[in-house]
């Protein structure tokens, strides 16, 4: 059952480590100062956010991408689906800067950005308000002592299930087999998600229309030749 204003779990740990790497160059700094304030989502002190109200007009659909990296997937989807409202969550300043550059270049009007922990936003969005979610190549936190920082957990799946509409797809991709197994185990135990039956090995086939991200291209060069592409559904 959906719960309005779902309270954050005090045991939740941020799934990201650092927020910045190299210093922003002048063009990125200008975009942070001039463009980001018009696109950034701020949480209200109380209550929930109806994500449809974040966009001019009324989008036909609402999609969230958690940890969009350099933003190439999110920007491409926004171009392909101009009537869909996209919410991008990313804390790394370099990735935010790259996406802002793409937004400016293509004059994208259907993207809004959240620059804090995505879990905090999920707990404040209106229940049953999102049509689709993506989590592509999240940090696998490979060391066992760091597994608690992986985004996929019972706590985050609870929050994600609360905001997705029944039947909404949740797309997950990774090139780390251990994280693929971890995610499947959590999904199969969660009462609000299920994994539709697929042909053996089909999870190595990219999504229709998929274009490799920079991270994926880097993984191939480093010898990680297979990825796992899962689509789960909200019950």
Q: Alpha carbon of 3 to those of 8, 68, 153, 159: distances in Å?
A: 12, 27, 18, 9
Profile the chain (235 residues) by mean pLDDT over runs of 10 residues.
57 53 71 95 96 95 96 97 98 93 97 97 98 95 84 97 98 95 97 92 93 88 91 98
The hierarchical CATH code for the domain 35-40+49-234 is: 3.40.50.150
Note the pLDDT of residue 224: 84
Domain-wise residue ranges, the chain: 35-40+49-234
Instruction: Identify the pLDDT of residue 213.
Output: 86
The residue from 38, 106, 117, 139 that is catalytic is: 139
pLDDT tens, 107-151?
999 999 999 999 999 999 999 999 999 999 999 878 888 788 899
Q: Is 131 one of the annotated active-site residues of the chain?
A: no
Q: Residue 133 has what pLDDT?
A: 98
**Residue 11 pLDDT:** 57
| Region for residue 21 given its phi and psi (left: phi exceeds 0; alpha: psi -120 to 50; beta: otherwise) | alpha
Predicted confidence at residue 23, as pLDDT, reads 64
pLDDT of residue 1: 45
């Amino acid at each position: 059952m959906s719960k309005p204003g779902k309270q954050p779990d005090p045991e939740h740990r941020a799934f990201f480590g650092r927020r910045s790497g190299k210093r922003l160059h002048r063009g990125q700094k200008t975009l942070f100062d001039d463009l980001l304030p018009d696109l950034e989502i701020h949480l209200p002190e109380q209550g929930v956010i109806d994500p449809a109200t974040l966009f001019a007009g009324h989008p036909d659909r609402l999609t969230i991408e958690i940890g969009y990296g350099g933003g190439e997937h999110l920007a491409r989807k926004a171009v392909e689906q101009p009537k869909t409202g996209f919410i991008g969550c990313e804390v790394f300043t370099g990735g935010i800067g790259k996406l802002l550059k793409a937004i400016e270049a293509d004059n994208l009007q259907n993207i809004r950005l959240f620059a804090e922990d995505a879990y905090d936003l999920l707990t404040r969005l209106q229940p049953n308000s999102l049509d689709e979610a993506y989590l592509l190549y999240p940090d696998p936190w490979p060391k066992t002592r760091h597994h608690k920082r992986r985004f996929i957990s019972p706590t985050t799946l609870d929050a994600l299930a609360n905001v997705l509409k029944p039947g909404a797809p949740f797309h997950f991709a990774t090139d780390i087999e251990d994280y693929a197994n971890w995610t499947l185990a959590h999904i199969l135990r969660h009462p609000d998600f299920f994994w539709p039956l697929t042909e053996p090995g089909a999870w190595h086939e990219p999504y229709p229309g998929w274009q490799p991200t920079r991270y994926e291209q880097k993984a191939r060069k480093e010898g990680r030749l297979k990825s796992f592409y899962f689509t789960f559904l909200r019950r």
